[in-house]
Amino acid sequence: MTGPDRGYRSGMPLTRTLDDSTVVITGASSGIGTATAYALARRGTAVVLAARSEPALRQVAQRCRELGGRALAVPTDVTDLESVQQLADRAVGEFGRIDAWVNNAAVSAVGLFDEIPVAEFRRVLEVNLLGTVHGIKAALPYLGAAGGGVLINNASVLAEVAMPYQSAYNAAKHGIRGLADTVRQELRVTGRGQISVCTVLPATIDTPFFRHAANHSGRELVPPPPVYPPEVVAETIVRLLRRPRREAYAGGAARLIGLQWRLAPALVERTLGWYLHRTQFGPGARLDSTGNVFHADGQASRSGGWHGRRRQLVRMTAAFGLAAAGTAVGTMAMNRRSRSDR
């Protein structure tokens, strides 16, 4: 298999079983973070939940305890390094160590690049990219002290491909992927290979993300199908804790699009842009909104209520995939034939 899922291992797995481990999760007040917390709680893990919305965090923590896990809610602003370091300290103070850290907090500002206010663009980078930087800096000393562990960055398939109207988000996610690769190299060459660094590349996920994003498009935002439930990403994260890999896709569409992008990047860039231009906007008009870029609005909800779009346009998506892959193969064959005729 080619691409990120060919998966030579990133390093060592957790040094303890999940029911004896402590995992910190940022962006835990909704969506993928909440689903991951629940997936780990069912396995008896101690989860440390971080986000800006304290009421939502407390709801998630209570549900984690009901599912059989241990939980600590720590209101945290990931753009503030001191706040993130306090999160790490609180985790160790409560449970004795940190075995894994999941950088998941993210926001987005949707619209044409030249219509997104610079302040919002900067804030998206601060939350998504610098928030991950702060998480890694806070986690590494404690992971080393625990004898090793796993660091997981949720980067989205948009760390590999691009999507129109999401310039700030794309830039941040591409940055996260490059950052993870560099930190992984540095850990190896400095003898700290017992700490694994993994990157998750999810497809479109059914979370509140699209309802909460800043919107400067003038239109209703909807997730481009196919849309996968957040549990798909949560289970991918659990698998990475047990068997770390450099990178792992979550959702078959992400794997397909990533493969196409590598085979024929120019073609897929055009085709994907056309597809997403037509599928990420609904029929309703919307006034400009800053969404949750500056203000917390987590509601302890895993789902965004997009269930009906999970199967919409599946045939169209499949056709797009076959066409792009077929064209790429044809292009390579033509190039080979052209070279042989010279």
Which residues, at least 6 apart from 223, have a Cβ–Cβ distance to it below 8 Å? 204, 205, 206, 209, 210, 280, 304, 306, 309
Residue 293 has what pLDDT? 93
Partners of 326 in beta bridges: none
* Local confidence band at 330 (pLDDT 50, 70, 90 cut-offs): very low
Q: Please give the single-letter amino acid code of residue 92.
A: V
Res. 197 pLDDT band, cuts 50 70 90: very high
On the question of pLDDT at 311 being above 60, the answer is no
| Count of Cβ atoms closer than 10 Å to residue 165 Cβ | 25
Q: pLDDT digit string (tens) for 37-85?
A: 999 999 999 999 999 999 999 999 999 999 999 999 999 999 999 999 9
CA–CA separation, 60 and 38 (whole Å) = 8
Q: Is 239 exposed, middle or buried (0-12, 13-18, 19+ CB in 10 A)?
A: middle
Residue 3 has pLDDT above 60, yes or no: no
pLDDT at residue 175 tops 90:
yes
At 174, list the tokens: 């591409």
User: CATH number, domain at 12?
Assistant: 3.40.50.720
Cβ proximity of 220 and 281 under 8 Å: yes
pLDDT bracket for residue 332 (50, 70, 90): low
pLDDT band of residue 147 (cuts 50, 70, 90) is very high
Strand order in the sheet with 22-26: 70-75, 46-51, 22-26, 100-103, 149-154, 195-202, 247-250
143 pLDDT more than 90? yes
Residue type, position 37, single letter: A
In this predicted model, which residue has the larger pLDDT, 1 or 212? 212
Tell me how crowded residue 188 is: count the other CB atoms within 10 A of its CB: 14
* Mean pLDDT on 184-193: 97
Q: Tens digit of pLDDT for each residue in 248-279?
A: 999 999 999 999 999 999 999 999 999 999 99
Each residue of 201-232: pLDDT tens digit?
999 999 999 889 999 999 999 999 999 999 99
Q: Give pLDDT, residue 307.
A: 67
State the average pLDDT over residues 118-145: 98
The pLDDT value recorded for residue 1 is 39
Give pLDDT, residue 334. 43
Pair 151, 195: CB distance under 8 Å:
yes
Identify the pLDDT of residue 300. 65
Distances (CA, A) of 277 to 124, 143, 163, 269, 270: 21, 42, 9, 12, 11
Our count of domains for the chain comes to: 1
Cβ neighbours around 277 below 10 Å, total: 13
User: What pLDDT shows up at residue 339?
Assistant: 52
Lowest mean pLDDT among 128-137, 226-235, 265-274, 299-308: 299-308
Catalytic residue numbers read: 169
Tokens matching residue 267: 């073609």
pLDDT at position 274 is 96
Where in the sequence is the domain holding 232, given as residue range(s)? 4-341
- What is the C-alpha separation between 339 and 342, in angstroms, rounded? 5
Per-residue three-class SS string for the chain? CCCHHHCCECCCCCCCCHHHCEEEEECCCCHHHHHHHHHHHCCCCEEEEEECCHHHHHHHHHHHHHCCCEEEEEECCCCCHHHHHHHHHHHHHHHCCCCEEEECCCCCEECCHHHCCHHHHHHHHHHHHHHHHHHHHHHHHHHHHCCCEEEEEECCHHHCCCCCCCHHHHHHHHHHHHHHHHHHHHHHHCCCCCEEEEEEEECCECCCHHHHCEECCCEEECCCCCCECHHHHHHHHHHHHHCCECEEEECHHHHHHHHHHHHCHHHHHHHHHHHHHHHCEEEEECCCECCCCCCCCCCCCCCCCCHHHCCCCHHHHHHHHHHHHHHHHHHHHHHHHHHHHC
Q: Which position has the token pair 């779009």?
A: 309
CB 221 within 8 A of CB 215: yes
The per-residue pLDDT for 319 is 42
